[in-house]
Chain A
């Protein structure tokens, strides 16, 4: 196969599936499910081919002329594949989950249509080979996720949609300005490991700082960096599969991925350190980590608590990238995958609780472990991973971040990581205790509403199996981190091959 066509095929599988699904009638459930799963499996297969090819050092690039001086470029490099594989696997799982979750709900053709387009946009963000292409798919991601956020169509959902658009379009505008500015100065926005070259050095330090600030703030909105995170907790009104997708795969991840791209492939990490961009960003990330955890503590709504936890956890990735050392970067990159697996587990569990028992708040979860043991087992594993306990995946990320902090000689960051772990424990451990060891209040047990037809299991299998699968994946990613096929090994490959040779 022509090496440029494979990345394009990866994009098109989900985009075409989206278009086909839009055209289906609301009641054609089976056909829609068939299209959804076929496309997701096909995409997984293509990504597998791509992964194998990149591992063997093959090049995959596709150029499309845009205007005279600029082109769209799709390119599969190791960093792209890290994000792409994560999104391809989790798309399949989330699709299965969403089919179960939305059974009997209205507007499913519209939902799954935008769902597929959103995954295409994410793949585009991953495969972008220059800043222009990145910007294009980044904005497309905004457009395709907005209908998902307001899917329920309630007044609250609409308000969240407005906030979401205001933040993300604002961020997109900053990103656009930074991108055009850079393009005007150097005539290209190609991603180059080590940063865009500036022949003759005619770009002043102040200009670099301004451009970097525009770009990083632009992606920082989606990465939910404090104080640009306000949209994320509000977007929680969306259905659970959407929250899962937003937090673990698409939007927030695209932001964090963008931070890494901009720091390492556009600004260049050496320049970023020399111009004080990276240290400032690290401070912002550290503040976000602490602030998100503090806010999570006071949330009584389960999904809101998880949302603030995301604000905090995603900034680990930014912090790892901004510490500017190989080990820290490995920690940040691997957390991109690990946080994805753990957070999607938590959101699936929250969805199961809401869908099966009508449980939405933390207080209603007393004793729920007896009623839904498997779901809560998955929840427990993921929560422990978030805290950073071995052998869960979260421990591996934090270990490398800590090593990286030592390597960079910034002991302070270790304190931030430790404090964050303590706070994570503070908002997860009492909850876990209450889930497993306390008995439900009689009147609350009465409030548990059997919302769903569930067969002989604790909840519908389409909800339960994806949940268990991702929890298991999060466990295995931690247990087998040292093997050659783990996300950790891939993160190490990226760092050694591209950024710190």
Chain B
């Protein structure tokens, strides 16, 4: 039963994507929300099963590893599946009305959004559930292609240029990864992550594999200095797409890297190479924040904030403790929720103002108080202030760094949150200065609730994570790599 659920998590969105692709144009938008609900359906029982009886493993077609395709639903996979679903649901409510409103001002892309997103969803789930490195490659590659197509939905010169750049990068990065995987296969004779661990030896091949895989995944994960493709891609895409890219798509390669790193490379004794990744993470936090500070437009600002926030996720490689690992995944979750909320809210603002310059925000809040409230709440989590998920993650990450006596990450984490406050402030400073009619009543709402509520829901989830952080932490605990626990 649970095995079927695991397969459905990948298969359902894929089938629905195919159906919507074949459906006539009008149906695609109308069916989007139903397809989302249907794709989420197998998750609750699967979550229940993993929570109570542990890991579920599936060998597709009955072939056992090392031959067959294997899926493995552990706590880490479940956390990410749940996160994806939690973002997909509000997004499903938001995307339809957003694309319709977008179309009234000449925007395009609504009809293709749903099939592409469902396809992307299926690839992400495959990547999260993959028990072998080639499966993960398939998820990575297909997800990358879907993401590129989604960026191109933005239409216009800038979006196409960004999409093309993104495409070339994604192909190059997955090629590096595939090369690394091939080397590991040559050395270990299997692609199964669990089996490979016992069969690899430290040597030239595994060293080269480490470099290739890490490089490929860092490119896709937009680690500084490989971040150059991210701001244009995330800033020019339609708002629901930006939310998906920043919240989920850039996280996927990192999750894969975390698995491979701590299950293969650290036991092989390559852990010291993590120093480089952490150092780059520190640079990413500072550089991304400083760039975000310099932006004059709303969506590039939010995109640069993603570059900075991704930096936190790379601090774990040098700290290398179980606490840091949990904290990193909690930070990933909190950032995904908050950033999805922020991009959707930013999309609303741009839609309502018809302009994405920060300077035109003055007095903009009166027609959309909830959207600005959402920006504020998401900001609280991104700055790592209580009572948000971002705060708990920051607390744990600081604790892990201090326990290891690593002061550089400590300084970067603290500086990063202050910088986040500084770069998010221009979005918020006019939130409370709405111009008013002489009667004291605020002017009529210029955004419908259907657009304002989904981002608010996401921001509230980011806050709720601060109160319920012990749940994801408990889910993660059994999935912790052996070297860390």
A positions within 8 Å CB-CB of B? 26-27, 65-70, 104-107, 110, 132, 135-137, 139-140, 142-143, 147, 150-151, 153, 158, 161-162, 165, 169-170, 172-173, 176-177, 180-181, 183-184
Find out whether the CB atom of B440 lies under 8 angstroms from the CB atom of A67.
Answer: no
Name the A residues within 8 Å of B434 (CB-CB). 153
Known contacts A150-B432, A151-B432, A158-B433, A180 near B425 by CB under 8 Å: no
Find out whether the CB atom of B429 lies under 8 angstroms from the CB atom of A162.
Answer: yes
Find out whether the CB atom of A26 lies under 8 angstroms from the CB atom of B402.
Answer: no
Name the B residues within 8 Å of A180 (CB-CB). 395, 398-399, 402
The contact of A139 among B385, B399, B410, B440, by CB within 8 Å, is: B385
Find out whether the CB atom of B399 lies under 8 angstroms from the CB atom of A147.
Answer: no
The contact of A153 among B421, B433, B442, B469, by CB within 8 Å, is: B433
Instruction: Beyond the given A66-B469, A137-B386, please list 13 additional residue pairs across the A-B interface where CB-CB is below 8 A.
Output: A26-B441, A65-B470, A67-B473, A68-B473, A105-B440, A106-B440, A136-B387, A151-B432, A161-B429, A165-B425, A176-B394, A176-B398, A180-B402
Segment 386-420 of B: residues with Cβ below 8 Å from A: 386-387, 391-392, 394-396, 398-399, 402-403, 410, 414, 417-418
When chains A and B are docked, how far (Å) is the Cα of A142 from the Cα of B387? 12
**Residue contacts A-B, CB under 8 angstroms, 23 given:** A26-B440, A65-B470, A66-B470, A67-B392, A67-B470, A67-B473, A68-B470, A70-B395, A105-B440, A107-B436, A110-B432, A139-B385, A151-B432, A153-B433, A158-B429, A169-B385, A176-B394, A180-B395, A180-B398, A180-B399, A180-B402, A181-B402, A184-B399
Known contacts A26-B440, A66-B470, A136-B386, A177 near B432 by CB under 8 Å: no
Whether B456 is near chain A, meaning CB under 8 Å from some CB there, is no
Name the A residues within 8 Å of B421 (CB-CB). 165, 169
Find out whether the CB atom of A153 lies under 8 angstroms from the CB atom of B432.
Answer: yes
Whether B213 is near chain A, meaning CB under 8 Å from some CB there, is no
Find out whether the CB atom of B432 lies under 8 angstroms from the CB atom of A184.
Answer: no
Known contacts A27-B441, A153-B433, A184 near B403 by CB under 8 Å: yes
Residue picked from B383, B386, B432, most chain A C-beta under 10 Å: B432
Name the A residues within 8 Å of B403 (CB-CB). 184
Name the A residues within 8 Å of B395 (CB-CB). 67, 70, 132, 176, 180
Q: Which 6 A-B pairs have the closest CB atoms?
A: A153-B433, A136-B386, A184-B402, A180-B398, A106-B440, A139-B386
Segment 465-482 of B: residues with Cβ below 8 Å from A: 469-470, 473
Name the B residues within 8 Å of A105 (CB-CB). 440
Find out whether the CB atom of B402 lies under 8 angstroms from the CB atom of A173.
Answer: no
Whether B380 is near chain A, meaning CB under 8 Å from some CB there, is yes
Known contacts A143-B380, A183-B399, A104 near B432 by CB under 8 Å: no
Find out whether the CB atom of A67 lies under 8 angstroms from the CB atom of B386.
Answer: no
Name the A residues within 8 Å of B385 (CB-CB). 139, 142-143, 169, 172
When chains A and B are docked, how far (Å) is the Cα of A139 from the Cα of B395? 14
When chains A and B are docked, how far (Å) is the Cα of A67 from the Cα of B400? 13
When chains A and B are docked, how far (Å) is the Cα of A176 from the Cα of B395? 8
When chains A and B are docked, how far (Å) is the Cα of A66 from the Cα of B432? 32
Q: How far is the CB of A340 from chain B (nearest CB, A)?
A: 25
Known contacts A27-B441, A158-B429, A184-B402, A177 near B414 by CB under 8 Å: yes
The contact of B440 among A68, A104, A158, by CB within 8 Å, is: A104
When chains A and B are docked, how far (Å) is the Cα of A151 from the Cα of B434? 11
Find out whether the CB atom of B402 lies under 8 angstroms from the CB atom of A67.
Answer: no
The contact of A176 among B414, B436, B440, B469, by CB within 8 Å, is: B414
Name the A residues within 8 Å of B402 (CB-CB). 180-181, 184
When chains A and B are docked, how far (Å) is the Cα of A106 from the Cα of B395? 39
When chains A and B are docked, how far (Å) is the Cα of A139 from the Cα of B434? 26
Name the A residues within 8 Å of B418 (CB-CB). 169-170, 173
Q: Mark B264-297, 1 if CB is under 8 A from A, else 0.
A: 0000000000000000000000000000000000
When chains A and B are docked, how far (Å) is the Cα of A66 from the Cα of B389? 11
B positions within 8 Å CB-CB of A? 380, 383, 385-387, 391-392, 394-396, 398-399, 402-403, 410, 414, 417-418, 421, 425, 429, 432-434, 436, 440-442, 469-470, 473
When chains A and B are docked, how far (Å) is the Cα of A184 from the Cα of B421? 26
When chains A and B are docked, how far (Å) is the Cα of A176 from the Cα of B399? 11
Q: How far is the CB of A281 from chain B (nearest CB, A)?
A: 23
Q: How far is the CB of B416 from chain A (nearest CB, A)?
A: 10
Name the B residues within 8 Å of A173 (CB-CB). 414, 417-418
Name the B residues within 8 Å of A165 (CB-CB). 421, 425
When chains A and B are docked, how far (Å) is the Cα of A75 from the Cα of B312? 34
**A149 — nearest CB in chain B belongs to which residue?**
B432
When chains A and B are docked, how far (Å) is the Cα of A159 from the Cα of B117? 43
Find out whether the CB atom of B387 lies under 8 angstroms from the CB atom of A140.
Answer: yes
**A135 — nearest CB in chain B belongs to which residue?**
B386
**A108 — nearest CB in chain B belongs to which residue?**
B440
When chains A and B are docked, how far (Å) is the Cα of A104 from the Cα of B392? 41
When chains A and B are docked, how far (Å) is the Cα of A136 from the Cα of B442? 33
The contact of B442 among A26, A147, A172, by CB within 8 Å, is: A26
Q: How far is the CB of B319 from chain A (nearest CB, A)?
A: 13
The contact of B425 among A67, A135, A162, A176, by CB within 8 Å, is: A162
**B441 — nearest CB in chain A belongs to which residue?**
A26
Find out whether the CB atom of A177 lies under 8 angstroms from the CB atom of B442.
Answer: no
**A114 — nearest CB in chain B belongs to which residue?**
B432
Q: How far is the CB of A422 from chain B (nearest CB, A)?
A: 40
When chains A and B are docked, how far (Å) is the Cα of A106 from the Cα of B433? 11
Name the A residues within 8 Å of B391 (CB-CB). 136, 139
Q: How far is the CB of A141 from chain B (nearest CB, A)?
A: 11
Name the B residues within 8 Å of A169 (CB-CB). 383, 385, 418, 421
Residue picked from B391, B399, B425, B473, most chain A C-beta under 10 Å: B399
Name the A residues within 8 Å of B469 (CB-CB). 66-67
**A154 — nearest CB in chain B belongs to which residue?**
B433
Name the A residues within 8 Å of B387 (CB-CB). 136, 140
Q: How far is the CB of B471 from chain A (nearest CB, A)?
A: 10
When chains A and B are docked, how far (Å) is the Cα of A104 from the Cα of B395? 44
When chains A and B are docked, how far (Å) is the Cα of A70 from the Cα of B398? 13
Name the A residues within 8 Å of B380 (CB-CB). 143
Known contacts A110-B432, A162-B429, A165-B421, A140 near B399 by CB under 8 Å: no
When chains A and B are docked, how far (Å) is the Cα of A66 from the Cα of B440? 42
When chains A and B are docked, how far (Å) is the Cα of A162 from the Cα of B470? 34
Name the B residues within 8 Å of A66 (CB-CB). 392, 469-470
The contact of B410 among A67, A151, A177, by CB within 8 Å, is: A177
When chains A and B are docked, how far (Å) is the Cα of A104 from the Cα of B438? 11
When chains A and B are docked, how far (Å) is the Cα of A41 from the Cα of B87? 41
Find out whether the CB atom of B432 lies under 8 angstroms from the CB atom of A140.
Answer: no
**A69 — nearest CB in chain B belongs to which residue?**
B399
Name the B residues within 8 Å of A132 (CB-CB). 395
Q: How far is the CB of A145 from chain B (nearest CB, A)?
A: 13
Q: How far is the CB of A170 from chain B (nearest CB, A)?
A: 7
Name the A residues within 8 Å of B394 (CB-CB). 176
Name the B residues within 8 Å of A70 (CB-CB). 395
Q: How far is the CB of A388 from chain B (nearest CB, A)?
A: 39
When chains A and B are docked, how far (Å) is the Cα of A472 from the Cα of B243? 57
Q: How far is the CB of B362 from chain A (nearest CB, A)?
A: 10
Name the B residues within 8 Å of A153 (CB-CB). 432-434
When chains A and B are docked, how far (Å) is the Cα of A106 from the Cα of B473? 44
Known contacts A67-B470, A169-B421, A184-B403, A177 near B436 by CB under 8 Å: no
**A133 — nearest CB in chain B belongs to which residue?**
B386
Q: How far is the CB of B480 from chain A (nearest CB, A)?
A: 12
Name the B residues within 8 Å of A181 (CB-CB). 402
When chains A and B are docked, how far (Å) is the Cα of A51 from the Cα of B469? 33
**B386 — nearest CB in chain A belongs to which residue?**
A136
Name the A residues within 8 Å of B436 (CB-CB). 106-107
Name the B residues within 8 Å of A69 (CB-CB). 399
When chains A and B are docked, how far (Å) is the Cα of A70 from the Cα of B466? 13
Name the A residues within 8 Å of B398 (CB-CB). 176-177, 180
**B421 — nearest CB in chain A belongs to which residue?**
A169
When chains A and B are docked, how far (Å) is the Cα of A170 from the Cα of B383? 12
Q: How far is the CB of B408 from chain A (nearest CB, A)?
A: 14
**A157 — nearest CB in chain B belongs to which residue?**
B433
Name the B residues within 8 Å of A158 (CB-CB). 429, 433
Name the A residues within 8 Å of B386 (CB-CB). 135-137, 139-140
